[in-house]
Amino acid sequence: MGKYSTLAHRLLFEIAVNHDYRCATMYPQHKLLDANALPGADGVTNPHSDPINYHQVVIGSDVWIGCAAMILNGVRVGNGAIIGAGSVVAKDVPPYAIVVGNPARIIKYRFDAETIAALQRIKWWNWPEEQIVEAAPLLYGDIQQFIDAFDVPQPIEEPDEIMETINDLREKNYHISYFIPDFEIEPSAAVWPRVVYTFLNTYHAEDRAALIMAIPPHDQCGDCLNIILNAIAEHGEQAPLILTHETNGDLPFSIPALRASSDYITTREHISSLAVDYASDTNVRIRYGLDQGTLLFPSLK
């Protein structure tokens, strides 16, 4: 979830409760079969961890969700959106859209396309709190005056080395998954080990797939890197491409690299909300590190 959003009471977020209607039966598999017998389960006992279920809902900043709304798994709610009371949201909600009903449908947008684009550039919710307080009279005033005051030309983002690497790989038809690992979390509870191991078990050296990880300085994550290096070594020459780039600036990731990638893989950590925000005006697909199968790493065939 982003910042400065307003959530009413009796909200329901439905996570990982889908049934595969494409099979002869939709009756839960774990009721009939041992977990080890489930197709592709590899011993997974969680009945909701199959590759038809999304395990995440992404809510942007400055979002208003009315009471008794239901949001289904895999939905991404854009910045500034409004979800009417009692709505059932089964599909993504664009930034600044107003949706109502069951299933929720767009009835209008809060502003015209030009104003929405300006607000997406300004991203006032990422300002320091004191700056937001200072700007409050304009935040609650005329929208055009706010735009005129703060939609100033932004410095052009200079391509960094990792962005150039990503661009080179994409020219060779590589699928790029960008990931900010949650190294600050104990590995047994973190998302990153699963992402790394799943990537290594999904692809091979001949596949045009690359996992790009934004990491802190090595002296802050040496133990985690050793685990990753050992996992790569176990796969030997068959290991798919995993690259890291070190971050030292205000953000623990590269905005140009993120925007140049095919996918962005989120974790449970708040930095994922910020990265999703910066990817919102691109074609980068958002995936969740605890999803299964092709929901996490797509087939390249």
Residue with tokens 């191991």: 197
Q: Which of 14-18, 269-273, 292-296 has the lowest mean pLDDT?
A: 14-18
- Report H helices in 205-269: 218-235, 255-260
CA 240 vs CA 39, 140, 176, 197, 234: distances in Å? 24, 51, 12, 11, 12
Q: How many residues does the chain have?
A: 301
Q: What is the pLDDT of residues 69-123, one digit of tens each?
A: 999 999 999 999 999 999 999 999 999 999 999 999 999 999 999 999 999 999 9
Mean pLDDT over all residues of the chain?
91
Catalytic, out of 9, 19, 48, 218: 19
Domain 161-295 has CATH 6.10.140.120: no
Active site residue 204: no
Domain range summary for the chain, segments of one domain joined by +: 113-150, 161-295
Q: What is the pLDDT of residues 119-163, one digit of tens each?
A: 999 999 999 999 999 999 999 999 999 999 999 887 777 778 999
Tell which residue, 108, 109, 103, 69, has the closest CA to residue 85: 69
Residue 48 pLDDT > 70, yes or no?
Answer: no
| Between 62 and 53, the higher pLDDT residue | 62
